[in-house]
RNA sequence: GCCGACGUGGCUCAGGGGUAGAGCAGCGCACUCGUAAUGCGCAGGUCGUCGGUUCAAAUCCGACCGUCGGCUCCA
């Protein structure tokens, strides 16, 4: 007999050679039905795998991340099977599980039409009903190569060739279909109860634009129809939070054919911007930053000196002035360099923190433009910190804390990535290692979990990126901290040390919001347009019941405006219900209904956009409460 | 930039070879109303742009522009 230790610590004895599925069934038939895959001694395994030794076994259902992944990965195999049934000769590339679903990349002459997608989905349902078991076969590299070569599956052959020497090569088979795959999989296709294909898109083989473009079919899958429907419903809901839609509805900004990727901010959008910037100015002042402003157009020699001419040219716009070549700045740093270099500096001055809300222009590919999230001109809430080598860690930690403080005000959750040396980098490996190590130390000093992004750093240095989520869970880089040993060198920046000698300062580039535009996009989706009172373009809407109450309504408006509350009056000859509906649609935090009772008592009937009717309070009291809510930047 | 889909009044959408239709928003009139849509009327579009096919194009074809979903890139 062998002992199997379960997740809860309990130990059960079985005959050697008992399968994991049998173990699950032995625990409870229901568990056997829900279990998709198991972890045996730390490694994921198919349920029909048999156990011969004492083992630790964890049975995983769809509720676990691994369970979801295996489930959807299995769904991608079923997708590939359906496609090969309906379109023989279609070549297979890769088909992984992703965050909320799966995809499979295919190489096929004609592109998939929406009608074909429906047919594929129907075929997948058929395969599920056929309930093929997933079978695993291990084979030698030679056999694997021969097998996939014979079938003309050139992508699989390429994948096999790239597998490490010692890799176990395995194939999984369901029915007539077989695919190269490390596994594991769910026991049989019948487990994949509810699935839906969502879209087709082009995708380069191995993500490289020099390679052939394949067709990627995206889908999602759940063990229950109701879960699938819930998910699809959530997607629909999320679309309502889309900042592009809300931006138009709330009259925040617009983007026109006349300037793709160049957003126009409307009066209400400007209120958001200005409030964010006001907060930003205050915080930076508190934290010892000075503010500067540098020009948008600067001449070619500067960009040659900074390295942008060689490393960033494809992203830049150019112009000519008189006989000279000029570039529109894609980054603010060279301007800051010139200010630093404008006069000598003493070590006593450092760190110098120079902040700039700088408008930069970058040529982004037309296909990637996305509302305010990816644009061709944006305002970076930039700063360059010039410091002694001994100050690096403290300064980085200071910025990490600042970013965290800012994001907390909005209730954002974020994740952190550390990006390392890219191919197109300046400077030696040693300097890069030093810089990267320093960033790592700072992250660890703050105990922040982070993911490493190999080769994704800026050309002048490694960076820490802060990513925020949009309504569909797509993440966008916002804050970033970049450590730079290059620019001070290139611009020959110096400070005079204690020893009276010239020394080289170290610099960091950093942004907190990232770009004001993107941040407003994220903000809009995060709050679904219902901005906290301190940010709301209109904080209060006064709604007189009839025109008999207009006079008092004007008094209310005046009293609020006096306290710098952003207030509007709906003086139209409409019913209260109608006015409320519109104010609600505009997500205005407070609606003040005024009629006979209120005008007589000097009161206002308060309605909050999410809490509803709050009853009448004295006007003065309402003002005090609201001012307090605004000043504390409360989110409600 | 690449792959695919889409582009009809401010918004949401119908129509589809014989020269445009609805609802909402807007404007006017009436109603003077208590917490998410009062009624009636009026006005508003060279159907993204440019070319082609046709007696006739919003409708068919092509190119371009833009948008959307991805790929790649990045704040």
Mean predicted confidence (pLDDT) in A481-495: 93
A257 CA vs B51 C1’ separation (Å): 21
Peptide bond preceding A184 in cis form (omega within 30 of 0) = yes
CA atoms within 13 A on the CB side of A505: 26
Mean predicted confidence (pLDDT) in A200-221: 90
Q: Is the CB of A68 under 7 A from strand B?
A: no
Q: Is the CB of A585 under 7 A from strand B?
A: yes
Which stretches of A51-174 are DSSP H helices? 65-86, 114-130, 141-150, 154-162
CA atoms within 13 A on the CB side of A401: 12
Q: How many CB atoms lie within 10 A of CB A317?
A: 15
Give the active site residue among A374, A376, A509, A579. Answer: A509
- Give CA–CA dist A51/A336, Å, rounded: 65
- Give CA–CA dist A201/A565, Å, rounded: 48
pLDDT for the residue A21: 87
pLDDT for the residue A78: 95
- Give CA–CA dist A355/A289, Å, rounded: 6
pLDDT, one tens digit per residue, over A343-368 is: 999 999 999 999 999 999 999 999 99
Indicate whether A336 pLDDT > 80. yes
Indicate whether A421 pLDDT > 80. yes
- Counting other chains too, the contacts that A216-219 makes at CB distance below 8 Å and 24 or more residues apart are A216/A103, A216/A104, A216/A105, A216/A106, A217/A79, A217/A83, A217/A103, A217/A104, A217/A106, A217/A112, A217/A117, A217/A120, A218/A101, A218/A102, A218/A103, A219/A75, A219/A76, A219/A79, A219/A101, A219/A102, A219/A103, A219/A121, A219/A195
Mean predicted confidence (pLDDT) in A43-48: 88
Q: At what angle do helices A619-631 and A550-562 cross, to 10 degrees?
A: 40
Tokens at A529, concatenated: 């347009």
Range scoring the smallest mean pLDDT among A1-5, A172-176, A612-616: A1-5
Nearest to A589 by CA among A542, A546, A621: A542
Q: For nucleotide B4, give the residue with the nearest CA to its C1'.
A: A201
Of residues A454 and A610, the one with the higher pLDDT is: A610
Are the CB atoms for A44 and A184 separated by under 8 Å? yes
Cβ neighbours of residue A634 under 8 Å, at least 6 residues apart? A532, A533, A534
Cβ neighbours of residue A516 under 8 Å, at least 6 residues apart? A273, A276, A277, A357, A378, A379, A380, A381
pLDDT for the residue A599: 94
Supply the DSSP string of A285-324, one letter for each residue.
HHTT-EE----SEEEHHHHHHHTHHHHSGGG-EEEEETTE
Is residue A391 left, alpha or beta, with left meaning phi > 0 and alpha meaning psi from -120 to 50? alpha
- Give CA–CA dist A180/A611, Å, rounded: 55
pLDDT for the residue A162: 87
Range scoring the smallest mean pLDDT among A36-50, A74-88, A514-528: A36-50
- Give CA–CA dist A565/A540, Å, rounded: 8
Three-class DSSP category at A356: strand
Of residues A30 and A519, the one with the higher pLDDT is: A519
Three-class DSSP category at A422: coil
Report residue A19's pLDDT band, with 50, 70 and 90 as the boundaries: confident
A608 is catalytic: no
pLDDT for the residue A510: 96
Indicate whether A459 pLDDT > 90. no
Chain A 388-427, CB < 7 Å to strand B: 422
A382 is catalytic: yes
**Exposed e or buried b for every residue in A161-192, given b needs 16+ CB within 10 A?**
eeeeeeeebebbbbbebbbbbebbbbbbbebb
Indicate whether A424 pLDDT > 80. no
- What's the complex ipTM? 0.93
For A81, A188, A190, A537, the CA distances from A102, given in Å and listed in that order, are: 14, 17, 17, 40
Give the active site residue among A216, A463, A467, A587. Answer: A463
Report residue A430's pLDDT band, with 50, 70 and 90 as the boundaries: confident
- Give CA–CA dist A421/A436, Å, rounded: 8
Q: Express the helix, strand and coil content of chain A in percent, nearest 5 each.
A: 40, 30, 30
Q: To the nearest 10°, the Cα dihedral for A192, A197, A198, A203?
A: 110
Give the active site residue among A384, A421, A549, A607. Answer: A384
Indicate whether A467 pLDDT > 90. yes
Give the active site residue among A380, A391, A539, A586. Answer: A380
A380 is catalytic: yes
pLDDT for the residue A549: 93
For A139, A167, A173, A205, the CA distances from A170, given in Å and listed in that order, are: 6, 9, 10, 22
Indicate whether A210 pLDDT > 90. no
pLDDT for the residue A364: 94
Indicate whether A455 pLDDT > 90. no
Mean predicted confidence (pLDDT) in A466-471: 89
pLDDT, one tens digit per residue, over A554-599 is: 999 999 999 999 999 999 889 999 999 999 999 999 999 999 999 9
Geometric angle at alpha carbon A472, from A184 and A99, rounded to 5°: 10
pLDDT for the residue A2: 86
Tokens at A54, concatenated: 């004492």
Identify the DSSP state of A611. Answer: T
Peptide bond preceding A351 in cis form (omega within 30 of 0) = yes
A110 CA vs B61 C1’ separation (Å): 20
Backbone angles phi, psi at A206, to 5 degrees: 60, 25
pLDDT for the residue A536: 97
Of residues A344 and A473, the one with the higher pLDDT is: A344
- Give CA–CA dist A612/A591, Å, rounded: 9
Cβ neighbours of residue A105 under 8 Å, at least 6 residues apart? A92, A93, A94, A95, A203, A205, A214, A215, A216
Are the CB atoms for A557 and A569 separated by under 8 Å? yes
Cβ neighbours of residue A625 under 8 Å, at least 6 residues apart? A617
pLDDT, one tens digit per residue, over A137-187 is: 888 888 889 999 988 899 999 999 888 888 888 999 999 999 999 889 999
Indicate whether A423 pLDDT > 90. no
Question: Which nucleotide's C1' sits nearest to the alpha carbon of A369?
Answer: B67
A509 is catalytic: yes
Cβ neighbours of residue A367 under 8 Å, at least 6 residues apart? none
Report residue A602's pLDDT band, with 50, 70 and 90 as the boundaries: very high
Dihedral of alpha carbons A141, A143, A147, A152, sign: positive
Per cent of chain A over pLDDT 90 is: 69
Give the predicted TM-score (pTM) of the model. 0.92
Are the CB atoms for A79 and A102 separated by under 8 Å? yes
Tokens at A32, concatenated: 């056997």
Mean predicted confidence (pLDDT) in A616-636: 96
Report residue A55's pLDDT band, with 50, 70 and 90 as the boundaries: confident
pLDDT for the residue A7: 83
Q: How many CB atoms lie within 10 A of CB A93?
A: 22
Indicate whether A6 pLDDT > 90. no
pLDDT for the residue A235: 86
Q: Is the CB of A578 under 7 A from strand B?
A: yes
Q: Which nucleotides of B are covered by protein (CB under 7 A)?
A: 1-5, 11, 30-38, 65-75
Exposed, middle or buried by CB within 10 Å (0-12, 13-18, 19+), for A573? exposed
Report residue A13's pLDDT band, with 50, 70 and 90 as the boundaries: confident
Per cent of chain A over pLDDT 70 is: 100
Indicate whether A456 pLDDT > 90. no
A110 is catalytic: no
Exposed, middle or buried by CB within 10 Å (0-12, 13-18, 19+), for A262? middle
Per-chain mean pLDDT for chain A: 92
For A35, A88, A154, A206, A285, the CA distances from A110, given in Å and listed in that order, are: 39, 13, 18, 20, 59
Supply the DSSP string of A197-243, one letter for each residue.
EEEEEEEEGGG-TTSPEEEEEEEEEESSHHHHHHHHHHHHHHHHT-H
Of residues A208 and A278, the one with the higher pLDDT is: A278
Strands A97-98 and A43-45: unpaired
Supply the DSSP string of A388-409, one letter for each residue.
-GGGHHHHHHHHHHHHHHHHHH
Three-class DSSP category at A347: helix
Tokens at A478, concatenated: 């916002």
């Amino acid at each position: 007999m062998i002992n199997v230790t379960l997740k809860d610590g309990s130990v059960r004895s079985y005959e050697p050679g008992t399968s994991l599925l049998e173990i699950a069934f032995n625990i409870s038939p229901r568990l056997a039905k829900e279990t998709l895959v198991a972890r045996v001694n730390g490694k994921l395994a198919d349920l029909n795998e048999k156990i011969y030794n004492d083992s630790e076994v964890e049975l995983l259902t769809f509720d676990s991340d691994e369970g979801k992944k295996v489930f959807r990965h299995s769904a991608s195999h079923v997708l590939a099977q359906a496609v090969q049934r309906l379109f023989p000769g279609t070549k297979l590339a890769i088909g992984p599980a992703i965050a909320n679903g799966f995809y499979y990349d295919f190489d096929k002459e004609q592109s998939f039409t929406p009608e074909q997608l429906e047919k594929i989905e129907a075929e997948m349902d058929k395969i599920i009903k056929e309930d093929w078991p997933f079978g695993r076969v291990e084979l030698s590299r030679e056999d694997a190569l021969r097998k996939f070569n014979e079938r003309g599956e050139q992508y699989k052959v390429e994948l096999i060739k790239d597998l490490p020497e010692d890799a176990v090569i395995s194939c999984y088979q369901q029915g007539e279909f077989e695919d190269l795959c490390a596994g594991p999989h769910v026991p049989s296709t019948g487990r994949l109860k509810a699935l839906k294909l969502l879209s087709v898109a082009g995708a380069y083989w191995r993500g490289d634009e020099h390679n052939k473009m394949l067709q990627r079919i995206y889908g999602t899958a759940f063990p229950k129809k109701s879960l699938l429907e819930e998910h699809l419903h959530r997607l629909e809901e999320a679309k309502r939070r889309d900042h592009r839609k809300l931006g138009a509805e709330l009259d925040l900004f617009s983007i026109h054919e006349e300037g793709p990727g160049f957003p126009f901010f409307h009066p209400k959008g400007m209120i958001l911007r200005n409030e964010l910037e006001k907060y930003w100015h205050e915080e930076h002042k508190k934290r010892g930053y000075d503010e500067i402003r540098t020009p948008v157009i600067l001449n070619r020699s500067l960009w040659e000196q900074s390295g942008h001419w060689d490393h960033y040219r494809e992203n830049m716009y150019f112009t000519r002035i008189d006989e000279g070549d000029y570039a529109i700045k894609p980054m603010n740093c060279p301007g800051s360099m010139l200010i630093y270099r404008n006069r000598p500096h003493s070590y006593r001055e450092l760190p110098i923190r120079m902040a700039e809300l700088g408008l930069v222009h970058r040529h982004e590919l037309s296909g990637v433009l996305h509302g305010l999230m990816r644009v061709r001109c944006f305002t970076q809430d930039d700063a360059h910190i010039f410091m002694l080598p001994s100050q690096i860690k403290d300064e980085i930690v200071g910025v990490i804390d600042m970013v965290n403080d800012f994001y907390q005000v909005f209730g954002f959750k974020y994740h952190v990535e550390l990006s390392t040396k890219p191919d197109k980098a300046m400077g030696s490996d040693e300097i890069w290692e030093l810089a990267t190590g320093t960033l790592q130390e700072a992250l660890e000093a703050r105990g922040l979990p982070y993911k490493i992004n190999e080769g994704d750093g800026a050309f002048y240095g490694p960076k820490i990126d802060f990513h925020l989520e949009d309504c569909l869970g797509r993440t966008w880089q916002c804050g970033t901290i970049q450590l730079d040993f290059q620019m001070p060198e290139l611009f020959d920046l110096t400070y005079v040390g204690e020893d009276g000698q010239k020394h080289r300062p170290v610099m960091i580039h950093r942004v907190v919001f990232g770009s004001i535009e993107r941040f407003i996009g994220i903000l809009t989706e995060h709050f679904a347009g219902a901005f906290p009172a301190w940010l709301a373009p209109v904080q209060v809407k006064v709604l007189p019941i009839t025109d008999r109450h207009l006079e008092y309504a004007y008094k209310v408006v005046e009293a609020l405006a006096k306290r710098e509350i952003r207030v509007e009056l709906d003086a139209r000859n409409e019913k209260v219900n109608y006015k409320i509906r519109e104010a609600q649609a505009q997500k205005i935090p407070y609606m003040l209904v005024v009629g006979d009772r209120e005008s007589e008592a000097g009161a206002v009937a308060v309605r909050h956009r999410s809490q509803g009717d709050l009853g009448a309070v004295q006007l003065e009291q309402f003002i005090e409460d609201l001012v307090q809510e605004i000043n504390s930047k409360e989110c409600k």
